[in-house]
């Protein structure tokens, strides 16, 4: 009954390869995110999708391409992997709630992370 799940948990690959990370949430949320946590534990948002539509793209290289086949899934594909891509990637989800002054984005629930190591 995991709320936000990611596969794989660990990913070790060579430079130049292409790899994908999958994320699924069973919370019924309509917004999903990808975050990158670097070796110093700093967390930064990469992408956000709302109802399968891309709404945040934080100056991430074109080699990173998110895909959301439906509201419950947000996958991350990375082309031509580089050493600097080594990090922990977290998926998250949240629910948008209509508020009096506009949309309210409720707290985000995070997956367990995928540790990517590029050799």
Instruction: Give contact residues for another protein (rule: CB under 8 A).
Output: 4, 31, 33, 40-45, 48, 50, 55-56, 58, 90, 92, 94, 96, 99, 101-105, 107-113
CB of 34 to another protein, least distance (A): 12
Q: Are 90 and 110 in contact (CB under 8 A)?
A: yes
Q: Are 39 and 25 in contact (CB under 8 A)?
A: no
CB of 27 to another protein, least distance (A): 13
Residue closer to another protein by CB (options 91, 118) is 91
Provide the Cα torsion 68, 46, 53, 31; round to 10°.
Answer: 80
């Amino acid at each position: 009954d995991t709320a936000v799940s990611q596969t794989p948990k660990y990913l070790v690959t060579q430079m130049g390869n292409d790899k994908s990370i999958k994320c699924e949430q069973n919370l019924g949320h309509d917004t999903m995110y990808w975050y990158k946590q670097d070796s110093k534990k700093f967390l930064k948002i990469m992408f956000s999708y709302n109802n399968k539509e891309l709404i945040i793209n934080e100056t991430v290289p074109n080699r990173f391409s998110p895909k959301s086949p439906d509201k419950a899934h947000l996958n991350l594909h990375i082309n031509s992997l580089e050493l600097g891509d080594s990090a922990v990637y977290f998926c998250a989800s949240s629910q948008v709630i209509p508020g009096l002054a506009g949309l309210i984005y409720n707290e985000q629930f995070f997956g367990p992370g995928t540790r990517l190591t590029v050799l």
